[in-house]
Amino acid sequence: MSAPVANSIHDVAIVGLGPVGAIFANLLAQAGLRVAVVERVADIYDKPRAITLDHEALRVLQAIGLGDFMEQAIAPHNGSHYLGVDGEIIKIFDPMPPPFPLGWIPNVTFVQPDLEQALRDKLADYPHADVFLAADGVALRQDGDAVTLTAQRESGEEFSIHAHYLVGCDGANSFVRKQLGIGLDDLAFDEWWMVVDTLTSDPARRPAKSFQYCWPSRPGTFVPGPRNLRRWEIKLLPGEDPEAAARPTMW
């Protein structure tokens, strides 16, 4: 983690070191720009999130030097079978056959926290990329030449970063978006799902396909991830309590 440098100016300040902020910071640092990133949380978010990626994302990751890492971190997404109410197949999505237009398998599975760690490790290679973890972006001020970002450490201590540009990569509840008064269209599709990642004991046969269980009584999804990762996504029904559902004893 970096210490703030007094009276220095960065080319770009980034708020948020999730996958978007970390990829952007890597691209800018690779181009020789001086980058500062503030991230509210010190640790990488370890709960299940993204499990599928496409070949365009893989090309970006390759461009920042993570091609070899991704090659061993992914597994092919072999398509999905949609199962109807009686268990019959009602739709099939097959994977695209070779030759692959971008050189990578068009759809793959991966583990988001592993990728985020690789992105942070890569960023640490650049001496001109300053990363401030456990530092919350709390205020922005723009003058004729630069933007000043005020960040606050967990202790309450504040420090400033001056940059020619600032980019908000701070997720769905973006503080940058709110500070700049940028609107958000909420499509109001809110549903509670329980997402369960499991690691099977080795050796485990990898099921070939993903399954979408189109069952009105309990819609669900199964996705085989890379190596021994298996994911289930289970829709919570109206009236079911998400907090209660998160307790292992519920199931």
Ligand X SMILES: Cc1cc2nc3c(=O)[nH]c(=O)nc-3n(C[C@H](O)[C@H](O)[C@H](O)COP(=O)(O)OP(=O)(O)OC[C@H]3O[C@@H](n4cnc5c(N)ncnc54)[C@H](O)[C@@H]3O)c2cc1C
The site for ligand X (CB under 6 A) is made up of: 15-21, 38-41, 48-52, 112, 136-137, 169-171, 175, 195
Q: How far is the CB of 98 from ligand X (least distance, A)?
A: 23
Of 85 and 196, the one with the shorter C-beta distance to ligand X is 196
Q: In Å, what is the CA distance from 57 to each residue of 23, 61, 88, 189?
A: 10, 6, 33, 25
Closest CA to 15 of 212, 149, 127: 149
Q: In Å, what is the CA distance from 181 to each residue of 2, 13, 92, 174?
A: 30, 19, 43, 11
Q: Which residue is nearest to ligand X (CB)?
A: 18
Q: How far is the CB of 16 from ligand X (least distance, A)?
A: 3
Amino acid symbol at 246: A
Of 46 and 94, the one with the shorter C-beta distance to ligand X is 46
Q: How far is the CB of 50 from ligand X (least distance, A)?
A: 3
Q: How far is the CB of 218 from ligand X (least distance, A)?
A: 17
Of 16 and 34, the one with the shorter C-beta distance to ligand X is 16
C-beta of residue 85 within 8 angstroms of C-beta of residue 213:
no
Q: How far is the CB of 97 from ligand X (least distance, A)?
A: 22
Measured CA angle at 247 (ends 214, 83), to 5 deg: 10
Give every strand in the sheet of 52-54, ordered side by side: 52-54, 107-109, 75-76
Of 20 and 245, the one with the shorter C-beta distance to ligand X is 20
Q: How far is it, in rounded angstroms, from Cα 184 to Cα 168? A: 14
Of 33 and 48, the one with the shorter C-beta distance to ligand X is 48
